[in-house]
Structure 1
Amino acid sequence: MELDRRTSLALIGSLPLISSPAFGQGAAATSSLDPHAAMEWAKGIEGQRKADLGNGSFLNPIFAGDHPDPALLRDGDDYYLTFSSFDAYPGIVIWHSRDLVNWQPVTATLKTPIGSVWAPDLAKHKRRYYCYIPARTPQKKSIYVIFADDIRGPWSEPVDLNLPEHIDPAHVTDDKGQRWLFLSGGDRVRLSADGLSTVGKVEHVYDPWKYPEEWVVETFAPEGPKIVKRGDYYYMTTAVGGTAGPPTGHMVIMARSRSLGGPWEDCPRNPLIRTQSAREKWWSRGHATLFEGPDGGWWMMYHGYENGYWTLGRQALLEPVQWAEDGWPRPLGGDLSLPIRKPIDAVQQQHGMALSDDFQTDRMGTAWAFYDPAPDEVSRLRRLDGTLHMEAKGKSPSDCAPLCCIAGDHAYRVTVDINVDDGAEAGLLLFYNRRLYAGLGFGNGALMMHRYGLQRSRGADSSKDNAGSLSIRLTNDRNILTIHTSNDGRQTWRKFDVQMEVSGYHHNVAYDFLSLRPALYAAGRGQARFRNFTYEAL
């Protein structure tokens, strides 16, 4: 039976604690964790889940909520990380850490929409930072690059590398200083000296290891190559098996070579990481980056779906590895539902950020992002005296580019105060994509219920609510959605008469590789005004 986090943490004091290589070369250690202290430490800003347990250990996920395809860069003592941002703009948010467990957002680098962004790669060459970004629209597929002389920006406009047949780029420099971009499917292409164009044709250099035919996977899909040099070998980590679908599909494989051009030798222990059973805590684990940590030990960062919570998307996981005598890394994390020693117990920085927003400052990109925006989407927004003014667009949540944030908790509550012009409809949603969302809106003399991505007017029951202003509260309690409304400034709340079960609002039902996110929307004509958005983990 799957335990919730409270039950799991209450048991931690009696569980073995996995060590990283710097804490005894993988030997088990006994935890002295006070379960009550663990509960407090496991709560971050606004009660959100965080990994650091406050006793020198952490509990996965490192990033709760949708943070797929982690791309990690070490820059001296600093670590920078970014993820796929898909249809969200501004996108490609960069995060910073020194202990690999506590992370803070730095900036959103990609401002100009180039399509749905999948599996970028973050690199530094000489003194310049680069991010290689695969993106696709219905009309075009390619890989782009943006660059900056300071990780905090400003970042350049995207440069098209004209690579329409591949995804998941990985930048690497060989021993002669030549720059390469490795690609999905075991291919690579040479880069120019400035890294902003390709030289020559794409070439195939590696046939990825293939799992036994009887294994239950989604599809072969060799993708997400990441390359690191250690000793005489380049080690290439690749994902195969499909990133969603059956829980046992996605996996991590590895190959090595003395030359980037091959031949590549497969690890005899492939796959290094794979979910063996749907009873496990973490499903579909893959898309790993192998790197040296601040402790001198080695680690892998990858993503996985949480058992029972497809709706939270692919969450970022951290696992220690040890180099075996045969020269191959061996993962040490074991059961990732148990705590693991932190790489270092450094001066703690705050992890994450508040999702609540008084709309006094611009938090686009780091906290908020539009779903599938037009190039000028941000022009719809204006902040004035603690109010977010949003111009209405489209006819419904499906075509009005809702403004979304990423939630990572099993249970949470979001509330917002809304005022609408005549002709506009606005509301609060749990939004997956244009085909699948749930929540409540109001305007034009009626409430509008949203469920399954369909909408139904509830005007006969709600005329007294719609005087142009309404507070809406959504409670998502382990995928059960309950809605309340207030028209007296949150003094009294009335429960909406329909509750909704939303556990099926995810990729295996509606595609797009996203998560179920709190969202604000404004459709129709005129303007909606939002105040006092509050988030509370339950």
Structure 2
Amino acid sequence: MSNQSRRDAFKTLLAGASLPLVPTAAAHAATPPATCAPAAPPRWKRGIEGQRQADQGDGTFINPIIAGDHPDPTILKDGKDYYLTYSSFYSYPGLVIWHSTDLVNWHPVGPALHKPLGTIWAVDLCKHNGRYFIYIPAAPDGKPWSIYVIWADKIDGPWSDPIDLGIADCIDPGHVVGEDGKRYLFVNGIRKIRLRDDGLALDGQLEKAYQPWRYPDDWVTENFAPEGPKLLRRGKYFYLVTAVGGTAGPVTGHMVIAARSTSVHGPWEHHPGNPLVRSMSTNEPWWSRGHATLVEGPAGDWWMVYHGYENGYRTLGRQTLLEPMEWTSDGWFRALGGDLSKPLPKPKGGQAGPAGFALSDDFSRNRFGVQWAFHDPAPDEAARAQYTGKALRIAGRGASPSDSRPLTCGVGDRSYEVEVTLELSGQGEGGLLLFYNQKAFVGLGFAAEHVKTFQCAEEQGWARVARKTLRVRVRMTNDEHVVTFRYSHDEGKTWTLHGTRMEVSGIHHNVFGGFLSLKVGLYSAGSGVVAFSDFKYRALGA
């Protein structure tokens, strides 16, 4: 599917079954959340390799709970355990599942999806009758959007191959069991369809479920885009939490709204406090906040998990945020977070577990899926990679980073430094990148006779440097969007400062589309092989 086709499909899917935008009386009566004043930059406690850590060690936490590109979070409470996954787009293996016992400290379990399905958008993780399910909207190349399902008897797998449910042109599934004991998926629009009892096939037709609450048309949003339905049954009510306003675009667009009903079939009553979450200005620490799920904490308090862009750092993608909420005496709920740049009390009763993981890699074991993933891989992509015990050898593909399907690693810090050693063989060419997609990347490339400079997603021929290379160590420093490269041909004894510094703050979705993030990339092109070894990561800054 071409990029233009994907954009057209995206507009159609997000539009759903919407009506002309006419403000309702409820919309005019709604009072938007108070605008946060500019806040001093938060000072996170630093964890592994200096990476930002949510848990401050004093009973408080600072958002994000999972830094970096972890959008559209779907969270499952499973006894004393919590599991979360998120949109993985073109990264394979994909759908990394994370585990926590306190909602603040999260550690990856591993990827659930190994078979490429094209781009993967907002999924839903659920458990029913002792079995785990992930419902997946995907657009395999050359095929229309549909919703797939994978299942497992244990959260750490093995997970099944994807099953196409045949729900055409739909995204953002949300699973719920109705008062009739039947299983349903809600999708963008907001529409619903009944599932067979085993959850692996359809047992009904797609139908309209809910006409979402509408904001005044003078609010600055991207588009109406009713999406991300997540459902919860509590007491006599089903609660339907939905995103509207567009997931990117203007800072003030994305928002969280809610409705409730005594039946999964409606009628649905709008929350009188809509919108429950919304960024009101560029002064706030987190932009475009939305796509929320409600979850009960370890001691019975309640929380909202959703995503947002960090002020000034859209390059990091949409990060996972945690906000406290409370149930009110009238059976509704409200968000309590306020300024999310400040420390907040941790959920009560949880036991802190491991948080994050080291990104440095000696390539002695396979870390595909958790750390490394090929961007938009072909079915045979995994065959390119071979672990030797001390290095990762990747056979060349294509002629440059734009068609080489590079190996990528997500990051969650504003500033960081990485190093890696490359060894070329045959007619191999390789390098170190900051990679968004094939049309947006920067970096250095090394061939047998010269050093290449990639800027604005193409080689800058005027900057080519004659330099024989067999083995080289490359260092990249990203200091709040300003990128500096150095390289050494003598095992790090002396370093050459590359002559071009690059500014990358504009490499994000609002410029290039795709809902992705700027990741560290390793590429191998040409007809040879590049061996990568001793990858080092270090976060910078206070």
TM over 0.5: yes
The answer to whether structure 1 residue 491 and structure 2 residue 493 are counterparts is yes
Q: Number of aligned pairs? A: 503
Counterpart in the other structure of 1:14:
none
Counterpart among 51, 54, 59 of residue 48 in structure 1? 51
Q: Which moved more, 1:448-457 or 1:517-526?
A: 448-457
**How far has the Cα of 1:3 moved from its partner?**
6.3
Compute the displacement of 1:114 (Å).
Answer: 0.9
In structure 2, distance between residues paired with 1:67 and 1:4? 24
Please name the residue that 2:386 is paired with: 382
What amino acid is aligned across from residue 519 of structure 2 in structure 1? R
Q: CA offsets, 1:46-84, max 9 Å, x none?
A: 100110000000000111100000000011111000000
Q: 1:176 aligns with which of 176, 180, 199?
A: 180
Alignment map for 1:394-413 (pairs within 5 Å) = 394-413=398-417
| Residue deviations 1:300-326 (CA, integer Å, cap 9, x gap) | 000000010010000000001011122
Trace 1:45-444 onto structure 2 (pairs within 5 A): 45-140=48-143, 141-344=145-348, 346-444=350-448
Kept in 2, the 8 Å contact 1:56–1:345? The answer is no
**Deviations 1:469-492 (CA, angstroms, capped at 9, x unpaired):** 111111000000000011111122
**Alignment check: 8 A CA contact 1:70 1:83 kept:** yes
Contact 1:482 1:496 in 2 (8 A): yes
For the Cα contact (< 8 Å) 2:302–2:326, is it kept in 1? yes
Conservation of the 8 A alpha-carbon contact between 2:453 and 2:463: no
SS at the partner of 1:201?
A: coil
Of 477, 480, 488, which aligns to 2:479?
477
The residue identity in structure 1 corresponding to 2:390 is G
1:220-257, Cα deviation, whole Å (9 max, x unpaired): 11000000011110000000000000000000000000
Q: Does the C-alpha gap of structure 1 residues 489 and 222 become closer, same or farther in structure 2, counting only changes over 3 Å?
A: same
Counterpart residue type for residue 294 of structure 1:
P
Q: Kindly provide the amino acid, as one letter, of the partner of residue 475 in structure 2.
A: R
- For 1:515-538, what per-residue CA distance to the aligned partner results, in whole angstroms no more than 9, with x for missing partners? 100010001111101010111001
Aligned equivalents of 1:213 and 1:459: distance in 2? 50
Distance 1:396 1:139, change over 3 A: same
Pick aligned residue for 1:536 from 535, 538, 542? 538
CA distance, structure 2, for counterparts of residue 383 and residue 341 of structure 1: 44
- Write the distance in 2 (CA, Å) between the matches of 1:441 and 1:46: 26
Alignment check: 8 A CA contact 2:365 2:389 kept: no
The DSSP-based 3-state class of the residue aligned with 2:189 is helix
Aligned CA-pair RMSD: 1.3
Q: How much has 1:295 moved relative to structure 2?
A: 2.0
| Conservation of the 8 A alpha-carbon contact between 1:421 and 1:527 | yes
Aligned-pair CA distance for 1:448: 1.1
Residue 225 and residue 362 in structure 1: after superposition, are their counterparts in 2 closer, same or farther (change >3 A)? same
Aligned-partner Cα distance in 2 for 1:246–1:266:
25
**Shift of residue 461, structure 1, vs aligned partner:** 3.0
Gaps of 5+ in 1: 10-38
* Post-superposition CA distance 1:361-408 (Å, at most 9, x none): 100001111100011211100010311000000111111111111101
**Is the Cα–Cα contact under 8 Å of residues 445 and 459 in structure 1 kept in the other structure?**
no
CA shift, 1:459, in A, is 7.7
Measure the CA separation in 1 of the matches of 2:326 and 2:366.
Answer: 43
Q: Distance in 2 between matches of 1:386 and 1:257?
A: 58
Deviation of 1:168 after TM superposition, in Å, equals 0.3
- Native 8 Å contact 2:87 2:121 kept in 1: yes
Structure 2: gaps (5+ residues): 1-36
Q: Is the 8 A contact 1:446 1:458 kept in 2?
A: no
The structural deviation recorded for 1:135 is 0.5
Could you list the structure 1 runs, at least 4 aligned residues long, displaced by more than 2 angstroms after superposition: 1-5, 344-348, 456-462
Per-residue displacement from partner, 1:426-465 (whole Å, max 9, x unpaired)?
00000001100011011031111111111124686342xx
Whole-angstrom distance in 2 between the partners of 1:462 and 1:487: 13
C-alpha contact (below 8 Å) 2:120/2:139 kept by paired residues? yes
Cα distance in 2 for residues equivalent to 1:455 and 1:444: 16
Letter in 2 for 1:527: V
Change (3 A) 1:105 1:53: same
What CA distance in whole angstroms lies between the structure 2 residues aligned with 1:66 and 1:193?
34
Relative distance call for 1:3 and 1:376 in structure 2 (3 A) is farther
CA shift for structure 1 position 348: 2.6
Alpha-carbon separation, structure 2, partners of 1:492 and 1:149? 53
CA distance in 2, matches of 1:293, 1:385: 42
Query: Which SS does the other structure have where 1:166 is aligned?
Result: coil
Report what 1:23 is aligned to. none
- The amino acid across from 1:192 in the alignment is R
TM-score (norm 1): 0.92
Question: C-alpha separation between the residues in 2 aligned to 1:247 and 1:280?
Answer: 9
Take 1:462 and 1:347, find their aligned partners in 2: how far apart are those partners? Answer: 56
Residue 295 of structure 2 aligns with an amino acid whose one-letter code is F
1:116-147 CA-partner distances (Å, limit 9, x unpaired): 00000001001110000000134221110000
How far apart, in 1, do the equivalents of 2:461 and 2:393 lie?
A: 24
2:122 counterpart letter in structure 1: A
TM norm structure 2: 0.91
